[in-house]
Amino acid sequence: MITLEQGVELVWHAFEDMVGGEIYVKKIPSIRVTDVALAVAPEVKHEIVGILPGEKLHEQMIGAEDALHTFEYEDYFKILPAIHNWSSDPVRINGGKKVAQDFTYCSDNNLEWMSVKTLRSWIENNREKIGLI
């Protein structure tokens, strides 16, 4: 989960950091939809019906095709433009660590997951921002 404030902070950071053409991807924990249901309505019977046409199980934020131009930072990843060797420009890299050639950032391979307990706590701490559930 990401708050509106965290999203805005990343945008402001991008404005300060960017040279042009970069894509910034915030690091956030993955969450199972079933865990969201358990967090907000634990007393309700939940029935798993399976995946429906057009639905997907996981979200891909950075694909393998972008790995050659992707750098990791503490709270985000930055994909640099592939043109004009801009992805090797130290000014654009600005201290980032190059990711592995086969790197992907997807909800299914994320190392950080939000538990039902943590999700409930997050919802409670952000209730004013997200409204009543």
Of 97, 107, 75, nearest in space to 10 by CA:
75
Does residue 133 lie within any of the structural domains? no
Q: Which amino acid appears at position 50 of this protein?
A: G
Helix locations, the chain, DSSP H: 4-17, 33-40, 90-93, 116-125, 127-130
Q: How confident is the model at residue 3 (pLDDT cuts 50, 70, 90)?
A: confident
Rounded Cα distance between 116 and 3, Å, is 18
Which region among 14-18, 25-29, 104-108, 121-125 has the lowest average model confidence (pLDDT)? 121-125
* pLDDT tens per residue across span 72-81: 999 999 999 9
Widest pairwise Cα distance in the chain: 56
Segments forming the whole domain that contains residue 110 = 4-45+54-126
**Residue 133 pLDDT exceeds 60:** no
Asked if the structure places residue 131 within a domain, the reply is no
Token code pair at residue 120: 């409930």
**CATH code of residue 36:** 3.40.50.720
Do 42 and 79 form a contact (C-beta atoms < 8 A)?
A: no
Domain count for the chain: 1
